[in-house]
Homo-oligomer: A and B are copies of this chain.
């Protein structure tokens, strides 16, 4: 049987666009092929609370009817309503006629508003027994005594750095139990903070991998399920995955929100130097604007490194010193500040003035501001709220500082794109003379390992100390994580790349 794995990039709630994408896929394959599309391929996903609104379902039905006029064989996803109950559904269509529906049973966080459905459905198709449904319902189906010649699943799996390997490890024994081939079609593309990595695959009845589609891009691939062969699995390295996820995340954020240009503040530090490279890859050099905002505490290398960064990439860039704006705001607050020593208030003020300038420029040219904060900083609150923590989307906010270095070195593997000095120099916020991050934080390699144990592994202080870390440092780091919880409720949303993303996977009380 010929199956087309149609790994498409949909857009949430844009039925018209998604319908056109599906039709385009159908037109690119022969009519003797069963086209399989990802979960919620007609409506896009995540739908979130759109599922509470009536028009989502009526629009879905209208476009489903339009699709069926194609008189083709395909499986596609849409939200449906039966009476008062809403379901996340997959429709099996033959020659434009609805044959069967599978409704999702094992609901996830993305399925708010949907009721628990029936799971995988069995259907006779071209003389074969096919089970089709949602990837999350596969395991439950395998526990029943039902038999099929082929199982087809649609998915909507959110990218996390280690997830694809885990999925394969988990699904291979299930397939061996089912003793039939499995086709899994995942979507690609990004929606807000979520990146969907594609990588749709086919497993043989023995669990061996037979096909794997591209990661992070659209692809249609036709397979003959009676004739599956072993296949050397594509393996992307960790940095390649981080890189591709970030580039796709930026591109789709701007594309799907109808924004063309990005503005980035360039400090000469590694974070902004990395983000601007990723932005140029995602949007093109003609659509990225760099702004250098030196203060009187900026070192000379911070300007020269930032300039080198912009020049290496040949992007439009401006140097806008903030000294006069800072002095002007500082003199405005004299009724309160007079006589008090320079401190954190003045440090933060510089960051907020920079933000006012960056957002002013972004607003003026109709651009989006990219946030350049990393996960280590966000974790310990090392950043100024309404200052450098701001932006439409955070590009590296789910990557630890040590991962930022790793990715930056990889980007420079064939020559300098990111200024070497940005990579090698000691990190500094440069908000007071001779400031270094390590004045108030442990070295990033220690910090990041403690944070990983505390955040990803959810270990408490005593457990982390028992792994050989200094008790006082652990206590300090965990205290910083705790007291900065409130800040993280207002920082820029970041692209999710890890299994523990702030604001998505970790929800903490404010007070």
**Which listed residue, B331, B346, B355, B511, touches A386 by the CB 8 Å rule?**
B355
Known: A253-B511, A510-B191, A510-B493. A357 touches B332 (CB 8 A): yes
A30 within 8 A of B: no
Q: How far is the CA of A48 from the CA of B492 in the complex (A)?
A: 21
Interface string of A465-505 (1 = CB under 8 A from B): 00000000000000000000010011111000000000000
A507 within 8 A of B: yes
Q: Which residues of B contact A349 (CB under 8 A)?
A: 356, 359-360, 363
CB <8 Å contact, B511 and A257: yes
CB <8 Å contact, B345 and A363: yes
Q: How far is the CA of A182 from the CA of B359 in the complex (A)?
A: 57
Q: How far is the CA of A337 from the CA of B510 in the complex (A)?
A: 39
A307 within 8 A of B: no
Q: Which residues of B contact A333 (CB under 8 A)?
A: 320, 357, 360-361, 364
Known: A55-B462, A390-B490. A332 touches B336 (CB 8 A): no
**Which listed residue, B12, B52, B492, touches A509 by the CB 8 Å rule?**
B12
Count of identical protomers in the assembly? 2
A315 within 8 A of B: no
Query: Which of A17-25, A77-85, A227-235, A322-330 lies at the interface with chain B?
Result: A322-330
A46 within 8 A of B: yes
Q: Which residues of B contact A364 (CB under 8 A)?
A: 333, 336-337, 340, 343, 345
Known: A357-B329, A460-B55. A47 touches B348 (CB 8 A): no
Q: How far is the CA of A363 from the CA of B329 in the complex (A)?
A: 14
Q: How far is the CA of A460 from the CA of B59 in the complex (A)?
A: 12
Closest chain-B Cβ to A354's Cβ sits at a distance in Å of 10
A318 within 8 A of B: yes
Q: How far is the CA of A360 from the CA of B330 in the complex (A)?
A: 9
A335 within 8 A of B: yes
Q: Which residue of B lies closest to A51 (CB)?
A: B458
Known: A256-B511, A345-B360. A335 touches B320 (CB 8 A): yes
Q: Which residues of B contact A508 (CB under 8 A)?
A: 48-50
CB <8 Å contact, B509 and A360: no
A54 within 8 A of B: yes
**Which listed residue, B48, B327, B486, touches A257 by the CB 8 Å rule?**
B486
The CB with the most chain B CB atoms within 10 A, among A47, A328, A493, is that of A328
Number of interface residues of A (CB under 8 A): 75
CB <8 Å contact, A191 and B511: yes
A398 within 8 A of B: no
Q: Which residues of B contact A253 (CB under 8 A)?
A: 510-511
A403 within 8 A of B: no
Q: Which residues of B contact A492 (CB under 8 A)?
A: 490
A321 within 8 A of B: yes
Q: How far is the CA of A44 from the CA of B146 in the complex (A)?
A: 48
Q: Which residues of B contact A493 (CB under 8 A)?
A: 489-490, 510
CB <8 Å contact, B507 and A49: yes
Q: Which residue of B lies closest to A457 (CB)?
A: B52
Q: Which residues of B contact A458 (CB under 8 A)?
A: 52-53
A193 within 8 A of B: yes
CB <8 Å contact, A460 and B53: yes
Closest chain-B Cβ to A485's Cβ sits at a distance in Å of 9
A352 within 8 A of B: yes
CB <8 Å contact, B256 and A360: no
A117 within 8 A of B: no
A167 within 8 A of B: no
Q: How far is the CA of A47 from the CA of B343 in the complex (A)?
A: 34
A67 within 8 A of B: no
A241 within 8 A of B: no
A353 within 8 A of B: yes
Q: Which residue of B lies closest to A319 (CB)?
A: B335
A236 within 8 A of B: no
Q: How far is the CA of A344 from the CA of B363 in the complex (A)?
A: 7
Q: How far is the CA of A386 from the CA of B353 in the complex (A)?
A: 11
Q: Which residue of B lies closest to A14 (CB)?
A: B511
Q: Which residue of B lies closest to A353 (CB)?
A: B356
Q: Which residues of B contact A335 (CB under 8 A)?
A: 318, 320
Known: A48-B508, A507-B112. A336 touches B361 (CB 8 A): yes
A397 within 8 A of B: no
Contacts A193-B510, A333-B360, A343-B364 known; 8 new A-B pairs at CB < 8 A: A12-B511, A253-B510, A322-B332, A324-B328, A325-B329, A333-B357, A345-B361, A348-B363
12 contacts between A and B (CB under 8 A): A11-B511, A50-B509, A52-B458, A55-B460, A322-B332, A336-B360, A337-B364, A345-B364, A348-B359, A353-B356, A490-B491, A493-B510
Identify the 3 closest CB pairs spanning chains A and B, nearest first.
A192-B510, A345-B363, A328-B328
